[in-house]
Structure 1
């Protein structure tokens, strides 16, 4: 594999005699990856570096060393970046015979994504699970190594799925290795952000000279060599290719020095100089190969035939291209920059002729989208027929779950559209599709172009709404409520149904802002919504929800509660996930604001499922955050942790700067002090910059939970006091802040502060009237009342009738502490022991430690959890055990947790050892 060629006398690895010089560190990393994968573990790695730095050679090193492994190679192609799932199909195509071994819903999702079947747009997460399952099944026979070069050119749908799978690989004997170009300080492929990285840098000067000497023996002017060494900055491709642009005389004599331009452009210019020496026929062959993105040699030769190129007549032309491109099972260029250089070196008319030929030889029945794209690239000026074909391609892309591809087709269609109003319509549709991908910046660009064209009044209103939605998605700042309100007013006479949704969104934006005085307040937004709908009775559950919210925000919590309770009752009586995503968000928020756990549980579960299934990545982070909060109150931190990982993965894959409000709450309840502090500091800073009052209040709530668990009551009070004293109606955040304030103030003896907060809390708990609400009120009263026991007993009785295990455990802790202070040690032990066990099972470490200390103060020795105890399990192992106990199979558990069945098997084997059991039946008992 390696042979030593080192002028310094050392042993330097050289792959295939000329490239892998001085890559010992990288080789060691890749060797460890192969060792781990062969041992049954899974790995993901991103090789990151500038063009020509050696990433492809490192992938080749892996391929050469991977004896006994199944190898799948793929590469992103710039021309295919607009085709949904094109890259994923490259990766999965060699494994498709194994589709029959993965669950049917996953198989159906993958078939629809690849256009092999017709159905509803597939859930992106189901496609991700299908890919993960397919990788795991393939690796059952032997380890699987997937090598993806030029991952920066993967289409977004493929990059998201592959990133999703890479983050969930654990014990499948699978490695996903991506090579990603990183030029000019800009990291490409944001969907892969967060994966382990290996930064590939330039060669040191000694090794650079050795490589240059190997590649270009013969006389050369020392000044020329020094400049090539200096300007290449150790880039192997530059060292190999730059001198090829000079004649031997120029190298020897010092003529033709390079211009001072960026390195990739310099390399590309060197390629152009080499291409310029070829005959016209040879250049035609290279151009056709460069324009055909699939690498299908049959298509290339057919297109050349259409262009009148006969290589049998001119075999020398074919031979001349062999230095640049290889015609094997696939057409491959020596380097991707060479493909780019070939295409850019050709004139516009030459490029169009080649694209036209490729369109003519591409089968319209089996590959209509690529044929349409070639036709579009070959078209000069405007052509409605071609534009309409691209619009149909966009519809197919949307049906396959590829809004980014749909946006690309629609944008190109608009360029070809001769009718100005229709052109503006297509640009508006492209902007909407781009917005759905979670990429607001391209959406703004397309929207600006659409607004410049002739839009009718309805379309103009839709454009205003999209701009307002983008503003809300980007920063949730003070501008969003006003923009959404203006859009709603404009839509009122044009599209009452959409206007209704927009009023709801305006109140959502106002809720995030929290009433800082720089825009319309929630009360003002609600009043506008009620006035607009004053002549209409609520026609359905969404109308009832809107009316209830508006009444609540205008007239107070108690006034709106009956309407909202009725709306939630109607909503949960039928198939919840048929409601629109925006309605589900507000319905979930109202359920939690009103202490209605059953409704919140049903709605948030449906919200997450609907957001995943629709692929609306702008909605999914909101859905996950809501679901996290429900899981925290239920005491299921293991499930919440899983959602945190998914939330982070969605943020990384979309680039959306979604605040981690729910994540910081999970960390606070888990007792992760440093993590909580870091998250709160970051989110609070961002919220202040945006003018988002909710973010500041949410941070105070999370810190108050943390500090109250530590007994640092003065810090808890300081953290939560601003939110608790604010007049803004932030619902859940407001009443949770009041509960934490009362807890801290009562312990500090600030009876008046705690009493005022309790009076405010009571106006909401009495209006809600649920056991959850009244149980919390009773506990807060107990902390202030010398005759506390009846209130504690009422709190325990009410909370025990709910799934709110986290607050039930806290109530037992407070009651036990009070009993100990009354010298009722036996009674105190019962409450504290129960609290300690509950906190331990839920993974609330600081609360558990506090209960343990209190138990110790009663004279009871607290037995530490031993091997075989649930506390020794990881959060994911706890999740798996719980799902096993419900009777789910490994495949069903894998689908629920977004991991592979192999990983479930691996976790179960570890769990059996930790718990000292040997079967699933014992786990169930």
Structure 2
């Protein structure tokens, strides 16, 4: 049937599939029955004619708690290609889909595997990916589809998804275009009604058009309810009226057919064999059939049944055949003809061993109209039919259980563990919640809810974690400590009372007193994080230190070092630095340890060590697919690299940190990475971009009181002011970082902008105020490299002399080229003012060359101006090759220059190798090179 009133939408979707490259995809949104599926069907048919291969998955409400069920359905036709994936991706995908045993896979590694597999298939034939009813997809599959959607812009792949109005999905934030379907206009609605129900009496036709109000499903289905039209309450929402027409249609069917329809509606899959088997069990036509699907049967479940237990039988012919074989061996033979009346009533369709409802509203209406007892019996029958599939057995048994039942609860807990093992956190959380509902003891219930909350924390779902912790109503020291820790796990949460830190100190002390040392240390780490993002005050910091000092753990334990650095970066700076230097020799052993040691080094101003630890952490976090932790390591690396002056390394790290932080829902880290990008732009002299990025970062930081974000924003604004000659503004902006009452105050970071503050103060005539600030910072008595370098520079500029500048240059500035260049510049400027012009040129020339090499354009131009004043012409610096690349392109170019293949680069950056190749084809002409060897030589020359 020709779609009426959808010409514009069909044209847009037709253009999408005609040229899938650089298109991405579309999310079609609209109310139930608005015609989303019809539009997709037309588009899929057109895509097939155009030569695209169509892969499909459809969300099912009953399948939402079966991890990766939707992904299996999508990838089943191309499953042969899994064997050719790189080993880490292959193992992750096979484990996620229950096809093999392996380490619990990261959702992002599964996403990369799916992307690689689809990109390989698309290389042979362009793909149209169809995902219908994504609001009902299991969360793990939806996350993977969103991951893929963000990365197909250069692939011959189009993703077409449908989403019900008011529903949420990760695909909404995946960069896909949005298409909202409205109801049909009056003329189109009349044409559609006349096509499906010609010859209606005028009065009936008018009534139907009024009732349907342009709703396509209503226009096609309400005519079948003409006999009961007067009984349709117009006050009811249209969806409910439609459901009533469907249930009225069911009521007229034979009882065996109604039974089969109820079973089919409650079944997770469309398997006809499963529906018929469970219907046979429910009808009880074989004498002596086993009833109830008791828990004792689960022990005999075979591992081979695991495939279907994840909802995969919907697409696997082998699994469906097996289910059918088991069913006929166990239950009375029920023929498909039992559903024939439902087919004639246009409720379901039978094809290729499957039974599908013509619309999801039909599927939901049937259980809603059944009695609770009937639904429970149907669930029990399905459990009996699926007793060799433990996960699905457990869910149906739970649905049939009203009161506490520890036997079923234990099986649900095992289901949760299998889901967690495959990386399906959302499915595991749902199973544990159900297990808690069925728990017989309050303590066991609380333990299961807290275990679910832990999974929610691990997957970054703060609201879910908080809901579960509160529902647990923890009792006893152990449970209360666990609850307290879980509520404090989020580094990037919303603004909270800094007094929370002191409470955590008390909790950690109580847990430690019970001998739970590791748990106490985890609580301390959570509290230490708060000391970075917020300011809890001296008393809270001291309380944390006191607890840490009493723990029976060595002072050089990386966890203790990190906690100490966050809580007391100056008071304990000497010990922290000594331990960090010892631990630096063991980088690469554990990426998570390297990550928080990198953060610890940043706290104490050892930016060279911070960059080293963070750079060591990144490869391991990438390989493990831990994209939630990766942006944290990258942001610290970028922040530190900028302070060192290594913009070439900082640019791609900051850009990638921002991208992954946004993708993984970490607003604090996104704000910090964006602030670093703003600082880079300011140093490069791109003040317009710097201001835009600083404003964006400030919005993220203010929303949650993230002090490091706001401090970096103020540093950026001070750099812009300095470059533009507004020294009073620069001093005011930078001084905010040192005011404890200002939200931009951060205990550690405030001490690491001394050079910029000195520049501003001296030029703004604020020397006396600067002396007070320097005295306060010097009193910290810490060996912090960044602070000591800044203080030596400040003393030389504030009270200049050959000896003071020589002292600043004699300091160990290995790895700190920007600071060395800054000293040379200040020394040269002072010498010129002393009319020692010839001597000044040497220092100014060194400063210019240093800043040019570092890409610090604003500082390089300042050195040029001073050189011209000293009587030496200085050629303007044109943009170097790196300036011509986007941060993303620069990251790819650097990896290619290191000798990595496209596939290896893709694995590092979570892109398909085809996307990497497309970027390199754009990079080469930008840099004027024709080969990887030329690329490596060009970038090496710049770094030299």
Tell me the secondary structure at the aligned position of residue 170 of structure 1.
coil
* 2:220 equivalent to 1:240: yes
* 2:769 equivalent to 1:753: yes
- String of CA shifts for 1:572-627, please: whole Å, max 9, x gaps: 33356648x5x766533320122323432343345556666777777565444334
Find the counterpart in structure 2 of residue 838 from structure 1: 853
Task: Give yes or no for contact 1:817–1:854 (8 Å, CA) kept in 2.
Answer: yes
Instruction: Return the alpha-carbon distance in structure 2 between the equivalents of residues 911 and 621 of structure 1.
Output: 25
Q: How far does residue 167 in structure 1 lie from its aligned partner after superposition?
A: 1.0
Find the counterpart in structure 2 of residue 121 from structure 1: 104
- String of CA shifts for 1:133-176, please: whole Å, max 9, x gaps: 11111111111111111112222222222212211223221222
Find the counterpart in structure 2 of residue 718 from structure 1: 732
Find the counterpart in structure 2 of residue 873 from structure 1: 885
Tell me the secondary structure at the aligned position of residue 200 of structure 2.
coil
Tell me the secondary structure at the aligned position of residue 139 of structure 1.
helix
CA, structure 1 residues 684+909, in 2 after alignment: closer, same or farther (shift >3 Å)? closer
* 2:305 equivalent to 1:289: no
Task: Give yes or no for contact 1:438–1:656 (8 Å, CA) kept in 2.
Answer: no
Instruction: Return the alpha-carbon distance in structure 2 between the equivalents of residues 547 and 911 of structure 1.
Output: 43
* 2:677 equivalent to 1:663: no
Task: Give yes or no for contact 2:465–2:486 (8 Å, CA) kept in 1.
Answer: no
* 2:551 equivalent to 1:566: no
Task: Give yes or no for contact 1:22–1:207 (8 Å, CA) kept in 2.
Answer: no
Task: Give yes or no for contact 2:824–2:843 (8 Å, CA) kept in 1.
Answer: no
Find the counterpart in structure 2 of residue 87 from structure 1: 70
Find the counterpart in structure 2 of residue 11 from structure 1: none
After the TM superposition, which residues 165-244 of structure 1 pair with which residues of structure 2 at under 5 Å, given as runs? 165-183=148-166, 187-189=168-170, 192-220=173-201, 225=206, 228-229=209-210, 234-244=214-224
Find the counterpart in structure 2 of residue 53 from structure 1: 34
Tell me the secondary structure at the aligned position of residue 360 of structure 1.
helix
Q: Which runs of 5+ in 2 are unaligned?
A: 284-332, 938-944
Q: How far does residue 679 in structure 1 lie from its aligned partner after superposition?
A: 5.6
Task: Give yes or no for contact 2:521–2:548 (8 Å, CA) kept in 1.
Answer: no
Find the counterpart in structure 2 of residue 346 from structure 1: 370
Instruction: Return the alpha-carbon distance in structure 2 between the equivalents of residues 23 and 653 of structure 1.
Output: 37
* 2:235 equivalent to 1:260: yes
* 2:914 equivalent to 1:902: yes
Instruction: Return the alpha-carbon distance in structure 2 between the equivalents of residues 421 and 270 of structure 1.
Output: 47
Tell me the secondary structure at the aligned position of residue 438 of structure 1.
coil
Q: Which runs of 5+ in 1 are unaligned?
A: 1-15, 516-520
Task: Give yes or no for contact 1:701–1:733 (8 Å, CA) kept in 2.
Answer: no
- String of CA shifts for 1:2-28, please: whole Å, max 9, x gaps: xxxxxxxxxxxxxx32x352331x233
Task: Give yes or no for contact 1:311–1:317 (8 Å, CA) kept in 2.
Answer: no
CA, structure 1 residues 104+604, in 2 after alignment: closer, same or farther (shift >3 Å)? same
Match of 1:99 among 75, 82, 101: 82
Match of 1:271 among 246, 271, 274: 246
Range 458-467 or range 122-131, more displaced? 458-467
Q: How far does residue 470 in structure 1 lie from its aligned partner after superposition?
A: 6.2
Task: Give yes or no for contact 2:755–2:793 (8 Å, CA) kept in 1.
Answer: no
Instruction: Return the alpha-carbon distance in structure 1 between the equivalents of residues 665 and 573 of structure 2.
Output: 36
Task: Give yes or no for contact 2:754–2:794 (8 Å, CA) kept in 1.
Answer: no
TM-score, reference length from structure 2: 0.83
CA, structure 1 residues 151+522, in 2 after alignment: closer, same or farther (shift >3 Å)? farther
Instruction: Return the alpha-carbon distance in structure 1 between the equivalents of residues 864 and 187 of structure 2.
Output: 63
TM-score, reference length from structure 1: 0.85
Instruction: Return the alpha-carbon distance in structure 2 between the equivalents of residues 65 and 809 of structure 1.
Output: 63
Task: Give yes or no for contact 2:501–2:540 (8 Å, CA) kept in 1.
Answer: no
- String of CA shifts for 1:433-484, please: whole Å, max 9, x gaps: 22322222222222222117xx333223222332344698343443532442
Tell me the secondary structure at the aligned position of residue 397 of structure 1.
helix
CA, structure 1 residues 442+594, in 2 after alignment: closer, same or farther (shift >3 Å)? closer
Task: Give yes or no for contact 1:816–1:831 (8 Å, CA) kept in 2.
Answer: no
Find the counterpart in structure 2 of residue 442 from structure 1: 464
* 2:51 equivalent to 1:68: yes
Find the counterpart in structure 1 of residue 309 from structure 2: none
CA, structure 1 residues 723+269, in 2 after alignment: closer, same or farther (shift >3 Å)? farther
Match of 1:465 among 460, 485, 503: 485
CA, structure 1 residues 359+439, in 2 after alignment: closer, same or farther (shift >3 Å)? same
Find the counterpart in structure 2 of residue 604 from structure 1: 614
Tell me the secondary structure at the aligned position of residue 148 of structure 1.
strand
Instruction: Return the alpha-carbon distance in structure 2 between the equivalents of residues 237 and 773 of structure 1.
Output: 70
Find the counterpart in structure 1 of residue 940 from structure 2: none
Task: Give yes or no for contact 2:502–2:544 (8 Å, CA) kept in 1.
Answer: no
Instruction: Return the alpha-carbon distance in structure 2 between the equivalents of residues 457 and 900 of structure 1.
Output: 48
CA, structure 1 residues 900+653, in 2 after alignment: closer, same or farther (shift >3 Å)? same
Instruction: Return the alpha-carbon distance in structure 2 between the equivalents of residues 323 and 849 of structure 1.
Output: 75
CA, structure 1 residues 863+872, in 2 after alignment: closer, same or farther (shift >3 Å)? same
CA, structure 1 residues 613+910, in 2 after alignment: closer, same or farther (shift >3 Å)? closer
Instruction: Return the alpha-carbon distance in structure 1 between the equivalents of residues 116 and 173 of structure 2.
Output: 19
Instruction: Return the alpha-carbon distance in structure 1 between the equivalents of residues 803 and 226 of structure 2.
Output: 92
CA, structure 1 residues 192+264, in 2 after alignment: closer, same or farther (shift >3 Å)? farther
Task: Give yes or no for contact 1:246–1:256 (8 Å, CA) kept in 2.
Answer: no
Task: Give yes or no for contact 1:190–1:655 (8 Å, CA) kept in 2.
Answer: no
* 2:760 equivalent to 1:744: yes
Instruction: Return the alpha-carbon distance in structure 2 between the equivalents of residues 157 and 475 of structure 1.
Output: 29
Q: How far does residue 774 in structure 1 lie from its aligned partner after superposition?
A: 4.7
Find the counterpart in structure 2 of residue 7 from structure 1: none
